[in-house]
Structure 1
Amino acid sequence: MFRFLNVLFVLLGFPLMVRAEVPLHHVLEVSLSPATGELQVLDRITLPESLQVDEAGRYHFRLHADFVLQAVTAGVRIERLPKTAEPLRPEVPVSTEGLEVEFPLAVASVAPSADYVMTLPIGLKTFVLSYKGIVQHLPAGGDPVSGEGADTPGLISDSGVFLSGKSLWYPQFDQGLMTFSLEIALPETWHAVTQGERTRNEVARGIRKIRWYAPEPQQEIFLLGGEWTEYRRRDGRIEIFAYLSTPDPVLANRYLKATEQYLEMYQKLLGPYPYKKFAVLENFWETRYGMPSFTVMGSKALRLPQTLKTTYTHALLRNWWGNGVYVDEAAGNWGEGLRAYLVDYLFAEQEGKAQEMRLSALQQYAKTIGIVQDFPLALSQSKDDPLSYSIAQTKGLFLFHMFRQILGDRVFIEALRTFFYENRFKRTSFLALSQAFSRAAERDLGPELMQWVERAGAPRLRLRNISSEKTEEGYLLNASLQQRQAGPAYHLHVPISISLHGKKETFQTTVEMSEKSLEIALVLPARPIRLKVDPEYDLFRRLHPAEMPPTLAKAFSAESTVILLPSSAPIPQRRAYETLAKTLQAAQPEQIEIGWDNEYKGLPDDRSIWLFGWENRFQRTILKQLRRFGVSANSAMTRIGDIQIPRRGFSLVLTGRHPKKARYALSWLASDRVAAIPKLAQKLSDYSDYGYLGFAGDALKNIEKGRWPAVGSPMSIRIKQRDGRWIKETPTTLVARKALTTASPLFSEERMRQDIAALSNDRLKGRGFGTPELDRAAEYIASEFRKVGLKPAEGQGRSFLQQWREEGGGVSSGVSLKNVVSILPGTAAGLSHELIVVGAHYDHLGFGWPRAHRGEEGMLHPGANGNASGVALLLELARLLKEDVPLRRSVLFVAFTSKEVGLLGSAHLASQQAGLLRGRMRAMVNLDTVGALRDNRLFVLGAGSSREWPPMLRRIAVNTGLEIVSSASTFGSSDHMSFINVGVPAIQIFTGMTTDIDRPSDTLDKIDLPGMVTVGRVVKELIQNLADRPTPLSVVPLQKEVPTLIWERRDR
């Protein structure tokens, strides 16, 4: 019952009713002078009963050595102690855990300190001190080029204010945690930020006064200030701030919106956010710090596109893990692994790349322990070099992943919540973590968890003695699973998968082993074909070399490497390749030598080898080595599976294993861009984790990158049948996994459902050509554009309706037609007049005209997927892009009429390429039938209308985890063809054919709304790329298609 109530309190967001002693409390009044570097402080301190005194009844504290200190409260006696070789109390604890977000750095020295003893009158626990001084310790250390990683013990200057516990700017007692109220007076154009909630912000007579209140126990007190522009919004009880050194509402909005989204995601997962604010501050030097309730980043880091999903999200999550539950660093750092799992891994999981990340982490671990000594997580607090830090983070990440697999998602989440609420604002160790997980699981997990904390190294697994035989119950599979590492066995839960003859689904199970050897015996319903151990890389373990496909990093890590230049290449290429080789050699002069391919009869087998040039005489050797990965090359291009990289205008890098000595790498680099070749040195370093790369042009824009799959692993064994036969393998599937949590999509399924319902409602009678109901659909769309806050297009006055008459069709008076057109203006000078057209037709077949399936003539065709779905997505994109970061080019949102009778609406708008919109349309995206996503596959038609469509779509596919099948074909002749016909690159987005298209059964209940959200993410990124790219798309002329006109026009 008690456990149930605890869990209930956690789920409802209430803290557990645990009596806790009131910590030390400061009430600080601070006056800052950035011009002089001085601060003056009046500090009202309340000491807790537990704070210890020395034998003489005195309290000890430490303060900045340059401060002038005096007691304000009568009877309080303070004495400054002489500096001694041995301090009277431990050094001020400095926690990297509370600061660095992405990488460890040497901590800057603590400010010069003075030790004091203080005697209080009997019974007095609250008193006031006054102190003042100058704090000006310039940032030092870090990268000499970027400045990133520099640190300071404290600084007050006209560039900004940065004070932390290291600054010793407030009296620091032996008491570990404290609460505080902090009021700051500073120039009116400045702002100041610390932990907690802002309760005052006033300006009077040129002075700004700000008060922050932090009732949550803190490890130290920060105070940061700057001449910032403040941006703010409220998300329920939480205030969100952005403080920027120069006004930038676009950047601020990006961070404020991201904070709202990620707060919602993590509160859904972990429970209420533990503070009342979160702020992002632009620092005056390059940092990536995460403090309680705010983060501090340099100008460059703040503007990197990847920051929102890396550094920034780490800083936000740190308020649960690191600044909400504090790390007891003396017992190992559990925080880095947990944050890596709930940020980096969670995003990979949401994008369908979780297995890839797990494999990559294990491969990196195997490489790293060959360079630095392995260590247990219990010692991770002392590891501040990048390689050791990587080991600690990988071990920590896998610890949480493995226990998630053991417990299941529901109990794992409950364990995380229990761990948080039982240890909120306390210093906590791995032991407390194991206790929380054990309570959630209702069994003792301590020994299993602590083995990963206390032991160095990792298990090594091998399969032996595999056999299969037919029995009365089915097929009996026997195998021996062994742990081959030195030392005792690990307690493991080992995933196993078995592909079965005639079965599409893989048989999956988990075996538990706590000894060095486990005999496995499984009765299976069909003949086993292949046995895999840990097929999805869920265990922290040492990989077999065959599970580590070659990468560029391996190509440069050998003790000895030779670069073979192409002797038969044209002279300009030879010179460029030689320049590149000498650049690489200069970085590793002892390891790399340079030669020409005509100097060697065969490849040396005692080193790694680089082959440069298309003309290299050993090119065929590496192509043969990489054939298993689908690599081939001819004089025009190189193929890597479905990827094609042309020779002309492109650069290519491939790496594989040496054909005779697998421990060495054999790599190939080729380019026909002479100016680009010397620049490839930096690219090889930037992309060293990949097995193949493709770059375009002299600027070496990356267009392809990837890792080779693992083949030949001894953890995946094909089973020889008892009669000696080998059964042919067929593809099988593993159980699909869901992400631990997801951010609520910006796209609203409910809004799109309502739009589709409104347009496919029986009252609109199928939105047939020339009907009043089609006009009512146009009015509905126009009203939604109006709600969004878009503007009518030029030349339409205040109306969203673009109206004209079509004469013909046997109707003497013709027909009045209406496109619905709105515009989202761009913001970039010189580009805002250019247009990206996003369109969807809103008409349908009414009661089956002009085409109906036999037997369905005269029946209502509601057209939910065709094409109320496209219009609903069009409206949702308009809503989101209107509220998002402004685009450089303008976006024209158009709902077309009369597609079903011959593209009349789109043809009318496209014809204005020679009129009002002359030369302004740069690209067109047509949304037609987007409500039935199948197998995570999206189709794009018309991609041959520009050379840039295919690589752009491939990048978006990688970003969204969706398979995008693009075709140069214009199959179906939808509205994008009207734009291709006038020279505008255009594509159709299409989720594929279904049996309901253009039939009475095309109804709302058949719509895949989650799939539409996925499609929406693709199209939104596509529009943003098109609107913000520096140059327009190229135009590839396609054969003009004349649509089949059901409505015959008269000459006008």
Structure 2
Amino acid sequence: MKRFAARTMLVLILSFCSLAACAEVGEPRAVRQEIAVTLFPESHLLTGASTVTFAAGVNRVTFSLSPAAAIERVAVAGKVAPFSFAGGMLAIDLPREVGSASVSVTVSYRVTFNDPVPERPTSSEDPGYGVNGAITGQGVFLGSGVGWYPVTAATPERRIIRIAAPEGIEAVTSGRRIARETGHGVTRSTWEELKPVGDLSLSAGPYRIEERHMDGVDIYTYFYPDNARLSARYLDAAAKYIRFYSGLFGPYPFEKFAVVENFFPTGYGFPSYTLLGSAIIRLPFIVDTSFPHEIAHCWWGNGVLVGYRDGNWSEGLVTYLADYLLEEKKSPAAGRDYRLRLLTDYASLVTPERDFQLRNFTGRVDPASRAIGYGKGAMVFHMVRSVIGDQAFFGALREICREKLYKTATWQDFTRAFSRSVGKDLTPFMEQWLARPGGPRLALAGISRRQEGGNWVVTGTIIQTPPLYDVSLPLRLETAGGPLRQTLRVDRERTPFSFSSSDLPRRLLMDPDVELFRVLSSDELPPTVNRIKGSKNLLAVITKNCQAREGTVRLLLESLGQGRATVVSEDKIGATSLRDHDLLFCGAPQQQTTFPALPGGISVSRREFSVDGERFNGSDGLLFVVTRHPLAAGRVAALFLPLSDGAAERYVLKITHYGKYGYLVFAGGENRRKGMFAPAAGSVAEFN
């Protein structure tokens, strides 16, 4: 999942066809749809019937439905009717006599869903780990694209969903819950959507339900018994963030918000509910990190919908309004650190062959696409806000919410709203970031300091590597008497600048508060797990001290997106070859010349390691640290140091979810320590 799936976010955005758009392409208008399904978990079976009322003037209707479905009966106005069904498309020609009046079409069917659920998923980028539909004794997940009910070409104007399951199996889907009961061995619930958006998903399981009512919104938790004790924490957090975002954008768009537990790791956001894996729900920090992200999607992505032909703007916007904005509220320093992490992730993960225009982002498929769609997208919104100011920025978002709620919006709609809000055409500014891959590459050069009369003069040049961007670059000169600032327009390869100060200059910083999206140089990047994930030429070295099996090392590489990396024994490779690769050592290498230069506070031996004075010498300990390459500038080396094969097995798949960190310690079944290292001073000039 987006950083949720043990990370991350996590998230499915549903497509939507507005009535106006459907009319333009001649789609039949669906006035109402009633769906009734029964779940049989032990046999992976769903039986169902759907009745759709179409407006007058319809001659032919089509539905999409799982290709594996068996159609048992089709009726038009209560009479059995012929149909064709192939490749998941159900077509029905209506009798001529019904064309002048509204008509109901009922489809009865059955279908099994039994996608395999991975026991130890390695990838964190597929939010569903390849599971689209599964009806099992553990739980039920039916995604919006799996075809568990007949889907009309145009979203119906109203939907009612009735779900039956064995006693004790509670089900959840979009809309308001208007009925719930258990009797005669069956648990039933009924859900109503007055403003349907997109296609429906469904989840079910042996849930314990807690609920709260706040300002006209029903808030629920649907948790398995083992996590039911956490309900109050999530109900409190949901109420807090719904109030927060309602104040920013306007009323909450749906009748309810539910936090629903899934039986395998996910981090989905659907209209009116979020679906989180069991392990995710238990993480104490989730309620104030990834959870607000899913709530913000109720406005952006599930309330105002994405017009995908112009790209998916929602992940960048929600990353900015949830993950980032909550850090900014803590302190300016926390906001700066988050922006720096976005730039670091982009530079670490996005290689030229994996780069693409932001406008071409539709969804996350790998770490590089996440760094573009989520990270670069968030920085674009930050730059817009910096240019036009808070009042204009949030005013434009409220305007879009008013005009586009339950409809699609595009990047062009945001550009127009921001332009209207500030009274200036921002199209050239936005196009530079939307229509071009990559970003500006900037460096300080020729920095000098001299005295002229009673003043100090600092001069230098900003070097921009083509292709060229037109950007406003903040500079800050720190002096004995305080900082001096200027903003420099940079639109060519070499842009000179100068400062004059009556006080002694101490250092010069380029974009010191990280206000500009740009591609950081290798000198500016701290060593992180993401540097290993983004490596173009990784070599894994198994030393004599490695306490993990080779299969476990390969599982680690696969989880880091490096499944094709070469794995060799330390005694079969020389120092010369090591210079050509980023490195991942399992166990401490024998040769000191190849030993990664560990940061202060971290020391290791074969049987133990210590971090900031705390020793770890039990068999359950594991250290993972990324540092600078011992033999090649600009490259990184990682040390994977489990203290036993059991520790390696237990923690190997957790490492990938801590991409922004430089070191990790696992012990006692949990992450005990994590931290980041300072980047090199690639954008700073120091004066001695």
TM-score by length of 2: 0.78
Counterpart for residue 716 of structure 1: 684
Cα distance between partner residues in 2 of 1:254 and 1:114: 45
Distance 1:155 1:189, change over 3 A: closer
Counterpart for residue 138 of structure 1: 114
Shift of 1:420: 2.0
Shift of 1:455: 0.7
Letter aligned with residue 718 of structure 1: E
Letter aligned with residue 269 of structure 2: G
Give the SS at the match of 2:149.
Answer: coil
**Superposed, which structure 2 residues align to 1:808-827 within 5 Å?**
none
Q: Which of 291, 296, 303 is the aligned partner of 1:312?
A: 291
Letter aligned with residue 128 of structure 1: S
Shift of 1:611: 8.0
The answer to whether 1:80 aligns with 2:80 is no
Counterpart for residue 299 of structure 1: 278
**Superposed, which structure 2 residues align to 1:189-338 within 5 Å?**
189-201=168-180, 210-246=189-225, 249-338=228-317
The answer to whether 1:128 aligns with 2:104 is yes
Counterpart for residue 912 of structure 1: none
Letter aligned with residue 322 of structure 1: G
Deviates more, 1:150-159 or 1:283-292: 150-159
Distance 1:615 1:191, change over 3 A: closer
Letter aligned with residue 114 of structure 2: L
Q: Is the 8 A contact 1:195 1:294 kept in 2?
A: yes
**Superposed, which structure 2 residues align to 1:589-668 within 5 Å?**
591-595=566-570, 605=579, 618=592, 643-646=612-615, 655-658=626-629, 660-665=631-636
Q: Which of 351, 357, 362 is the aligned partner of 2:338?
A: 357
Q: Is the 8 A contact 2:307 2:410 kept in 1?
A: yes
Counterpart for residue 7 of structure 2: none
Cα distance between partner residues in 1 of 2:417 and 2:379: 18
Segments of structure 2 that go 5 or more residues without pairing to the other structure are: 1-17, 24-28, 558-562
Distance 1:516 1:217, change over 3 A: farther
Shift of 1:706: 2.3
Distance 1:119 1:161, change over 3 A: farther
Shift of 1:324: 0.3
Counterpart for residue 967 of structure 1: none
Percent of paired sites with the same residue: 25
Shift of 1:80: 2.0
Give the SS at the match of 2:209.
Answer: strand
Letter aligned with residue 297 of structure 1: L
Q: Is the 8 A contact 1:25 1:45 kept in 2?
A: yes
Q: Is the 8 A contact 2:472 2:489 kept in 1?
A: yes
TM-score by length of 1: 0.53
Cα distance between partner residues in 2 of 1:229 and 1:546: 52
Letter aligned with residue 395 of structure 1: K
Q: Which of 482, 487, 490 is the aligned partner of 2:469?
A: 490
Shift of 1:456: 1.0
Q: Which of 397, 403, 415 is the aligned partner of 2:384?
A: 403
Give the SS at the match of 1:272.
Answer: coil
Q: Which of 430, 434, 456 is the aligned partner of 1:449?
A: 430
The answer to whether 1:682 aligns with 2:649 is no
Shift of 1:238: 0.7
Letter aligned with residue 67 of structure 1: I
Cα distance between partner residues in 2 of 1:158 and 1:692: 36
Shift of 1:313: 3.0
Q: Is the 8 A contact 2:227 2:282 kept in 1?
A: no
Cα distance between partner residues in 2 of 1:646 and 1:248: 33
Distance 1:238 1:589, change over 3 A: closer
The answer to whether 1:169 aligns with 2:137 is no
Give the SS at the match of 1:114.
Answer: strand
* Two-structure CA RMSD over aligned residues (Å): 4.6
Cα distance between partner residues in 2 of 1:374 and 1:116: 44
The answer to whether 1:43 aligns with 2:51 is yes
Letter aligned with residue 675 of structure 2: G
Cα distance between partner residues in 1 of 2:495 and 2:442: 11
Counterpart for residue 28 of structure 1: 34
Segments of structure 1 that go 5 or more residues without pairing to the other structure are: 1-17, 84-110, 566-573, 720-725, 727-1052
More strand by share: 2
Counterpart for residue 1045 of structure 1: none
Deviations 1:25-74 (A, max 9, x none): 21426363647845453625243x8xxx7xxx723322546334444538
Counterpart for residue 62 of structure 2: 61
Cα distance between partner residues in 2 of 1:253 and 1:611: 44
Shift of 1:376: 0.3
Distance 1:581 1:212, change over 3 A: closer
Relative contact order, higher structure (CA 8 A, sep 6+): 2
Q: Is the 8 A contact 1:162 1:225 kept in 2?
A: no
Letter aligned with residue 73 of structure 1: A
Cα distance between partner residues in 2 of 1:67 and 1:580: 50
Shift of 1:341: 1.8
Shift of 1:366: 1.9
Deviations 1:267-294 (A, max 9, x none): 2332221112101223455543221101
Q: Is the 8 A contact 1:235 1:260 kept in 2?
A: yes
Q: Is the 8 A contact 2:531 2:636 kept in 1?
A: yes
Shift of 1:431: 0.8
Shift of 1:326: 0.7
Cα distance between partner residues in 2 of 1:376 and 1:246: 45
Counterpart for residue 533 of structure 1: 510
Cα distance between partner residues in 1 of 2:456 and 2:120: 65
Residue-pair matches, total:
643
Shift of 1:604: 6.9
Give the SS at the match of 1:218.
Answer: coil
Deviations 1:141-187 (A, max 9, x none): 767658952433585989547474542623513x3564324455666
Shift of 1:657: 3.0
Q: Is the 8 A contact 1:188 1:207 kept in 2?
A: yes
Distance 1:677 1:445, change over 3 A: same
Letter aligned with residue 25 of structure 1: V
Distance 1:406 1:160, change over 3 A: same
Cα distance between partner residues in 1 of 2:441 and 2:587: 40
Give the SS at the match of 1:135.
Answer: strand
Cα distance between partner residues in 2 of 1:228 and 1:359: 41
Letter aligned with residue 62 of structure 1: F
Cα distance between partner residues in 2 of 1:536 and 1:189: 54
**Superposed, which structure 2 residues align to 1:386-425 within 5 Å?**
386-425=367-406
**Superposed, which structure 2 residues align to 1:564-603 within 5 Å?**
576-577=545-546, 584=553, 591-595=566-570
Give the SS at the match of 1:359.
Answer: helix
The answer to whether 1:479 aligns with 2:460 is yes
Cα distance between partner residues in 1 of 2:39 and 2:20: 38
Q: Is the 8 A contact 2:50 2:149 kept in 1?
A: no
Give the SS at the match of 2:652.
Answer: helix
Letter aligned with residue 684 of structure 2: S
Which has the larger Rg? 1
Deviations 1:296-335 (A, max 9, x none): 3343443344443455333322111111011111221111
Shift of 1:422: 2.0
Deviates more, 1:134-143 or 1:492-501: 134-143
Shift of 1:380: 1.1
Counterpart for residue 323 of structure 2: 344
Counterpart for residue 749 of structure 1: none
Shift of 1:470: 5.9
Letter aligned with residue 30 of structure 1: A
Q: Is the 8 A contact 1:547 1:711 kept in 2?
A: yes
Give the SS at the match of 1:381.
Answer: coil
